[in-house]
Amino acid sequence: MDETLKNAEPVSLWGHFDEIRKLPHPSEHEGPVADWVCRLAEQHGASWVRDSATPVGNVVIRVPATPGHEGAPIVILQGHLDMVGEKDNAVEHDFLKDPIKLRKEGDLLYACDTTLGADNAIGLAAALACLTDPDVVHGPLELLFTVEEETGLTGARSLDASLLQGKILLNLDSEEHGALYIGCAGGADTVATLAVDPRPLAGDGWTPLKVVVGGLRGGHSGIDIPFGRANALLLLAAALQRALQLGIDLQLASFAGGSKHNAIPREAEALLFTREPERLAEVLRREAIAAFVRYVGSEIVEAIRIEAQPAQVAPQVWNPLVRDRFLALLASLPHGVIRMSEAVPGLVETSNNVAVAVFGEGAVKLTLSSRSSVNEELRRVQQGIVLLLQAAGCEVHADEGYPGWQPDLQSPILHRLDRIYTELFGSAPARKAIHAGLECGLLGAKVPGMDMISFGPDIFSPHSPTEHVSIPSVALFWKLLKAVLADLAKNP
C-alpha cells in the first residue's frame, strides 16, 4: 500500500482504493478497473456478469450472504467505475497510463495536482470491502459498477435491468458525511458548432499573442455551482470583447478552454493578432483587477491570471463578424444558478454551465450542461439556450438528458438509515437532495419500486485538481455502511 495511506482505517477499504488509483479509469477507459474487480470477485467466491451497454460494460458482482443470513433481502451496492481526469496544464500526467500520485495534508488526502478519483473510487472500494472483509455481516449482495457515469450516466442509461434482482439500493456516490441524499437533479447537454469562415490575415504590423485565463478553482458544475466561481471561457470572452469595444483591433485565430461537460472551466486561451499589444496588455490587466474584485469570495484571487503571452500563430483568422457574434453569444448565455428550489430550502433547482470550447477545422464547438430537479424547467432552460445558439448561427444538437430522482420521505431505507445513523453517532442525519446527477434517477426508472438512498464520506472539490477526501470521514462512512448491512441481514 502507498506510504501515504499507512495507518489509514479501514485497511480493507483503503487497500482497494490503493489498487484502483494505480489503474487507468477515466470515462470510456474503465477496462483495467472492470477487469480487476471481476478477478477480485472470482478470488473471493463471487460470480459476476458484464453487459454490453458499452465496449467496457457495466459489472454486476453477486456476493453470497454471510452464513445464516441467506434469507435477508438482496441489497444493491452501487457506484461507478470511471473518474474525471483533470490536471493543471503545467503537470505531466497521462490518465490513460499513469497511477494517481497521492499526498496528505493532515487528515486530508489529495493527489499531486490532478483529480484524486475519490469520486467514486471510495464508493467502489467500500463495496469491494464488503466482498472481501470477513468482519462485514450481510445478506445477499449485488455490487453494481456502472461505466461512463461522468460523461452523461451512459452505463446507467444502457443498463440491462434484468441483471438486478435486489429492490434496495445503496448508492455510494455522495460526498458529505452526515447527510442522506434522497433526490438529485436531472441534466442535459447541448452542443453547438459555429463555422468561423477562416481567411488569411491581411496587412502588416500584426503581433501574434496568446491570451490566457487561468488560476481559477473550477469544480463540479452541479455541486460547486452555487459558490459563484468564475468561468474561464466567459472571463476570456469578456476581456476580448472589452478590448474590441475600446477600439483595439483583434484578429482572432483560435478560442478554446474547459475540458469536461460537468466541470466549471478553470483555464481558457485565445490565439490572436493585434497591432496594439501594449494597449491590449493594459486592458487585460484591468480585467484581471475587475475579476479580483468580483470573485473575492469565491476564488483565490491572487491566483487569477488574465494576460497575454508571446506566441507563434498561423496567419489564418476568423471572419470578424463571426468573431463578434461568438463573443456576444458567450456574453448572453446563462451560466451559474438560474433558480433556487422552493420545495427544498438551500437547494439549487436549475443551473447551466458553459463548459467547453474546442476549435478546429474552421469551426468552434461549444458544450453546455444544464441541470434541474424539475424536468419541465430543465427543458425550458435548454430550449432557451438552443434559441440563443441558433440565433448566433450555430448548428445545435440538444441531448435528451436524464431524469432526476424525486425524494420519497416515506422510503423504508431512509427511515432505517435515519435510525441507525442516530444510534451510531448520537444525532440525526440531514436529509438532502443534490444538484447533480446521481444514477439513482435512471436506475429507479428502470426498476420500478426500487427503494434507494445515497451516502458517502466528505469529498471536496470533485472534478478539479484540488479534489480531496477526509480520511476520518471515510472511517465513519464505513462504520455506517457496515451497520446498515448488518441490520438488514438480521432484521429484514
Question: Could you tell me the pLDDT band of residue 401, with boundaries at 50, 70 and 90?
Answer: confident
Instruction: Check: CB of residue 180 under 8 Å from CB of residue 440.
Output: no
Least confident of 171-185, 243-257, 397-411, 465-479: 397-411
Residue 357 half-sphere exposure, CB side, CA atoms within 13 Å? 24
Catalytic residue among 18, 30, 82, 467: 82
Write the CA distances from 27 to 51, 83, 126, 192, 354, integer angstroms: 17, 6, 20, 22, 20
> 88 pLDDT band (50/70/90 cuts)?
confident
- Active site includes 149? yes
φ, ψ of residue 184 in degrees (nearest 5): -150, 165
320-332 and 232-245 helices, crossing angle to 10°: 130
| CA–CA dist 144, 434 (Å, integer) | 21
Q: What is the pLDDT averaged over residues 137-165? A: 94
| DSSP conformation letters of 359-420 | EETTEEEEEEEEEESSHHHHHHHHHHHHHHHHHTT-EEEE---B--B---TT-HHHHHHHHH
What cell does 455 get? 451516502
Instruction: Find, among 249, 252, 366, the residue nearest to 313 by Cα.
Output: 252
Rounded distance between C-alpha atoms, residue 214 and residue 304, angstroms: 6
For 228-250, how does the pLDDT look when each residue is reduced to its tens digit (9 = 90+)?
A: 999 999 999 999 999 999 999 99
pLDDT at 152 exceeding the cut of 90: no
pLDDT higher than threshold 80 for residue 343:
no
Burial class (CB in 10 A: 0-12, 13-18, 19+), 107: middle
**CA 446 from centroid of its chain's CA atoms:** 23
pLDDT digits (tens, 9 = 90+) for 264-288: 999 999 999 999 999 999 999 999 9
Q: Is the pLDDT of residue 119 over 80?
A: yes
Mean pLDDT of 435-462: 92
Whole-number pLDDT of residue 342: 83
Tell me whether residue 82 is one of the annotated catalytic residues. yes
Q: Which of 386, 404, 409 lies closest to 396, judged by CA?
A: 386
Cell of 85: 481526469
Of 30, 149, 451, 467, which one is the catalytic site residue?
A: 149
Closest CA to 53 of 143, 136, 162: 162
**Half-sphere exposure at residue 225, Cβ-oriented, CA atoms within 13 angstroms:** 30
Q: Which of 346, 303, 343, 284 is nearest to 464 (CA)?
A: 303
Cβ contact 138:69 at 8 Å: yes
pLDDT at 244: 98
